[in-house]
Amino acid sequence: MNRKSSTSIQHQLQLFFVLTLGFTVLIMGGVWIGYNQVLLEKEAERVLIVESDIIGAAARPALMFNDQRMAGELLRTMRFDPDVSLVKLFTNDGNSLFTYAAEDDTAVRGEEVAFQASQSSSFSDGRLRLFRVIAHKGEPVGVIYLESRLNHLKESQYAGLITVVVVMAGCLMLGLMLASRLQKKIATPISSLAQLMREMGEGRDYSLRVDSRSYNRETEDLLVGFNQMAEEVQNSFNTIEEKHKQLKESEQRFRNIVELAPMPVVISRQSDGQVLFYNGAAAQLLGIDIHATEDVHTLDFYRHPEDRPKLLKKLMDTGSFVGLEMAAVRRDGAPLWISLSMSQITFEGEAALFSAFVDITDQKRIEKRLEEQVSERTQELRQTRDELQSTLDNMLDTYYRLSSDGVVVWASNSVHSLLGYSAEQVTGMPLEALWVDGCDFSLAAAALAETDGVLMNHKVQLKHKDGFELWTSISAHLIMDQQQKVVGIEGVIRDITLLVQAEERKQALEETMAHVQRLESLGVLAGGIAHDFNNILAGIMGNAELAELNVLENLPVDKELKNIVTSSLRAADLCTQMLAYSGQGACLRSDVNMTALVEETIQLIDVSVSKNISLKLELPNTLPEVYADKTQMQQVVMNLVTNAAESIGKDRQGSITIVADLIQAGSEDLRSGFIEERREPGAYILFEVVDNGCGMDEETMDKMFDPFFTTKFTGRGLGMSAVLGIVRSHDGVIQVDSEKGKGSRFRVLLPVSDHAATTHLNENAEGANLPESGITVLVVDDEVMVRSVVERLLNKLGCKVLLAPDGEQGFNTYMCHREEIDLVLLDMTMPRMGGKETLERLRGVDAALPVFICSGYSNESISGQFETVQPNGVLQKPFTMKALNKAMSSWTQKG
């Protein structure tokens, strides 16, 4: 092993001691010379001061008198020190009084000395210069200047220098002797140690040892320590050799493993990125030619070269990283993606980077495709979400979600139109704050869980922000977590206030309809009963009249027969009222002024009203007329006023207000709980009767129009029934408001007349007046009693009668005797063939045939059933022979 030449430790020690000793002696000599110089200068200065004081004392008189001659004589007579080369006397004002210069010192001749009033001394140019003030009794009288050549001082210095040189030479010799001695005690063992170390270093023989015997303990300890260290080094070297061998084997195994590993591995120099090692997998992936000789750099494989400084910085910050995805390229430029793991290592003595990576190009391609699909799907979902949100925002239904403790966590924007709160305002509100009757959410959730967690269309009242209540239909289901624990509730709220109100109106309407249908059924029943009663009464009255005709006037039975006829007429009047209730009563309509009609009717009933009751009339002078039956309208007014008076009673004060007015009635104004038919909005005459009597409860109001219902002991219960029937038949409306103990209000609305009064049915009938006798009449009726009575009445009138029990036989009889028959009396309601069809068939044969309808129903209800073919008249049962004769006499005999 080569090494630079260097001085041996022996020579170094010798030189060290010589230099150290010489330097020490030199310093000491210099110090001594310097100190001696100071002492000599001080002594020279002291001597010169003494001499100046002597001269000054001698020269004081000359200075005091400024006597130059005296001063010169004095100084020339004095004996100066041989070293003094120049003496000057100055007066106080700086004038030179006298100068003395040594003859052998040419340097001071002609020298100019500047005056100085103060005392001072200085050494320069090998001379001592001194200024001393000369004083007399404390007052300065002049200044003396002395200059010394210091020859004596220089001689002393030279003698000292010789002494120092001699001493230094002696010390140097002593140092050499000491150095030689130290060489034997220190340098020789160290030189032996150095020689041994050179041999160990050159031959790497760590078994060599040095002799530890020495002349001093420190050197011996050093040699013993070296031998111990050599022993440790030998052991360590052996261990290192073994480890080095193992490391080489391990490196070879690692290299074999890495080269055969399927994962690409690259080791590159950290400083410049040159590839130091790569395995077969890396060569295959990166497209590196294994047999190529040119250098390969990692920068060749960066798709973006600026990524390398970023990777190095990341590596410096973290020391290593794993699974970093980055873009790379193959040797041929083909792009690829890798998942890179990197760490810092030392490879072949250089700082290097260990890189292992995996090709994820296919994965990135799949990820990109998935990202595109996810992006497309996300866009679709976002669009669907926006559409759904728009749908939710525009739907009347409100979607909501509650937390597990019943707090609103989300609601659709439609909650504002439902409850008046915005979605942000309602969020965070507890369910109890919105519930009308309060709600225990835990109980509600438990009840919901019992129904399999689903609730559909539950009817609940909620509170609006403005304070009013509304009906809603709530559907809900539980939200469960993975542990089947309830974490919330979500569902839909629908405003059903209008639906509930509609149901309530429907229910009220159904109740009204049921009530009206009941009244209508009662009306049909009453009409049927009246019809049947009229048929029966026709037989009774006819037989009674026939009996009257067959007996003498003053016989005892004559009175009873008259009573039978009178009772029959009263019974017929009762049937007329029943027909009026059913709306089928006889009706003779004309234009009627309600103001005049009410005033006229009040005059008729005023005497029957108690004097304790005041009648107040609010009747305008000009009112449009109504198209009505005057008699029936009077009956309506009379019944309503009479009922009002009876509700007040005879024993208490009261008032009845009667109002008539023209109003424009809308659909709401024409609603009635007693008449189901809807009336057309328009101009109506309002007739109103208001009393402050006892009033009615709901039960009484429900039944007050029922036939035969009455709250009076002597009443028959047909007055109010007739009022309802009359109003219905006149296309009117009746409304009632009443409260027990506070009176009642009856409102009747009748349509204003828009046409003139029509003529009666028989005014347009065809045919001629019939003679009183000698005609043939065909009687068609299903009632045997009626046929028999009419036959005998007609016989009394001199008519020939043909009978038929129904319409079919009546038509056949007419066809057989059409040349004989002059007039037909036809019942309306019959089996097999009714009166309407029979009339049409008869008129089909002979359009001029006189036909009278005989029926228990009224003329009004009968005539309304005929459209194109009209009868010549209507005889309402029961009728008298006089009425029958009058009807027949009004027609001309056929022919």
DSSP per-residue string spanning 34-62: HHHHHHHHHHHHHHHHHHHHHHHHHHHHH
d(CA 807, CA 812): 9
More confident residue, 135 or 711: 135
What average pLDDT does this structure show over 84-101? 80
Predicted local distance difference test score (pLDDT) of residue 688: 93
Predicted local distance difference test score (pLDDT) of residue 283: 85
Predicted local distance difference test score (pLDDT) of residue 290: 73
Predicted local distance difference test score (pLDDT) of residue 804: 92
Predicted local distance difference test score (pLDDT) of residue 749: 93
* Average pLDDT score over the chain: 78
Close Cβ partners of 434 (under 8 Å, ≥ 6 residues apart): 419, 426, 462, 463
Which of 43-57, 539-553, 805-819 comes out lowest in average pLDDT? 539-553
Close Cβ partners of 5 (under 8 Å, ≥ 6 residues apart): none
What average pLDDT does this structure show over 426-450? 77
Q: How many residues does the chain have?
A: 895
Predicted local distance difference test score (pLDDT) of residue 600: 86
Q: Which pTM was predicted?
A: 0.35
For 91, the enclosing helix (H) or strand (E) is: strand 84-91
Q: How many C-beta atoms surround the C-beta of residue 601 within 10 A?
A: 19
Alpha carbon of residue 81 to chain centroid: 122
More confident residue, 425 or 52: 425
pLDDT, tens digit, for every residue of 689-726?
999 988 888 888 877 877 767 776 445 566 787 888 88
pLDDT, tens digit, for every residue of 280-320?
888 888 888 877 667 888 888 888 888 888 888 888 888 88
What 3-state class would DSSP assign to 882?
helix
| Lookup result for tokens 């009751």 | 613
Q: How confident is the model at residue 757 (pLDDT cuts 50, 70, 90)?
A: very low
pLDDT, tens digit, for every residue of 768-777?
344 445 789 9
pLDDT, tens digit, for every residue of 854-871?
877 666 566 667 777 888
What average pLDDT does this structure show over 93-121? 74
d(CA 288, CA 304): 19
What average pLDDT does this structure show over 211-226? 68
d(CA 573, CA 569): 6
Predicted local distance difference test score (pLDDT) of residue 768: 34
Which of 339-353, 536-550, 785-799 comes out lowest in average pLDDT? 536-550
What average pLDDT does this structure show over 456-484? 85
d(CA 54, CA 63): 14
- Among residues 443, 483, 573, the alpha carbon closest in space to that of 876 is found at 573
Q: How does strand 454-463 pair with strand 743-751?
A: unpaired
d(CA 616, CA 406): 64
pLDDT at 853 over 70: yes
Predicted local distance difference test score (pLDDT) of residue 814: 92
- Bridge partners, 134 (sequence order): 142
DSSP string, 266-284: EEEETTT-BEEEE-HHHHH
d(CA 407, CA 431): 6
Predicted local distance difference test score (pLDDT) of residue 518: 61
Read off the tokens for 285. Answer: 């992936």
| Lookup result for tokens 């100071």 | 38
DSSP 757: P
DSSP 479: E
Predicted local distance difference test score (pLDDT) of residue 765: 36
Q: How many C-beta atoms surround the C-beta of residue 172 within 10 A?
A: 16
DSSP string, 841-863: HHHHH-TT--EEEEESS-HHHHH
Q: What Cα–Cα distance (Å) separates residue 461 from each residue in 361, 433, 437, 491?
A: 63, 12, 8, 16
What 3-state class would DSSP assign to 791?
helix
Contact yes or no for 531/829 (Cβ under 8 A): yes
How far separated are the first and last CA of the chain, in Å rounded?
176
d(CA 858, CA 586): 4
Q: How confident is the model at residue 893 (pLDDT cuts 50, 70, 90)?
A: very low
Q: How many C-beta atoms surround the C-beta of residue 690 within 10 A?
A: 19
d(CA 219, CA 226): 10
Q: How many CA atoms lie within 13 A of 802 on its CB side?
A: 21
Predicted local distance difference test score (pLDDT) of residue 141: 82
Query: Is the preceding omega at residue 681 within 30 degrees of 0, hence cis?
Result: no
Contact yes or no for 383/376 (Cβ under 8 A): no
pLDDT at 760 over 90: no
DSSP 457: E
What average pLDDT does this structure show over 603-609? 77
Read off the tokens for 775. Answer: 């005609």
Predicted local distance difference test score (pLDDT) of residue 63: 78
Which of 340-344, 400-404, 514-518 comes out lowest in average pLDDT? 514-518
More confident residue, 174 or 670: 670
What average pLDDT does this structure show over 154-172? 73
* 65 burial level (CB within 10 Å; 0-12, 13-18, 19+): exposed
Contact yes or no for 894/850 (Cβ under 8 A): yes
Q: Pick the most confident of 187-191, 553-557, 711-715, 866-870.
A: 866-870
- Bridge partners, 494 (sequence order): 473
pLDDT at 767 over 50: no
More confident residue, 595 or 536: 595
pLDDT at 187 over 70: no
Q: Residue 309 phi/psi, 5° resolution?
A: -60, -35
Q: What Cα–Cα distance (Å) separates residue 868 from each residue in 268, 839, 862, 864?
A: 119, 11, 14, 11
d(CA 499, CA 520): 29
d(CA 65, CA 157): 43
Read off the tokens for 894. Answer: 């056929």
Q: Which domains does the chain have, with CATH numbers?
A: 9-162 (3.30.450.20), 261-359 (3.30.450.20), 395-495 (3.30.450.20), 589-751 (3.30.565.10), 761-889 (3.40.50.2300)
| Lookup result for tokens 């405003």 | 495
For helices 784-796 and 881-889, what crossing angle results, to 10°?
60
Q: Is the dihedral of CA 160, 164, 167, 173 positive or negative?
A: negative
Q: How many C-beta atoms surround the C-beta of residue 103 within 10 A?
A: 7
Contact yes or no for 560/870 (Cβ under 8 A): no
Predicted local distance difference test score (pLDDT) of residue 112: 74
Read off the tokens for 659. Answer: 């109002």
For 353, the enclosing helix (H) or strand (E) is: strand 350-359
Q: How confident is the model at residue 167 (pLDDT cuts 50, 70, 90)?
A: confident
Q: How confident is the model at residue 816 (pLDDT cuts 50, 70, 90)?
A: very high
- Bridge partners, 489 (sequence order): 402, 478
Q: What type of residue is 616?
A: K
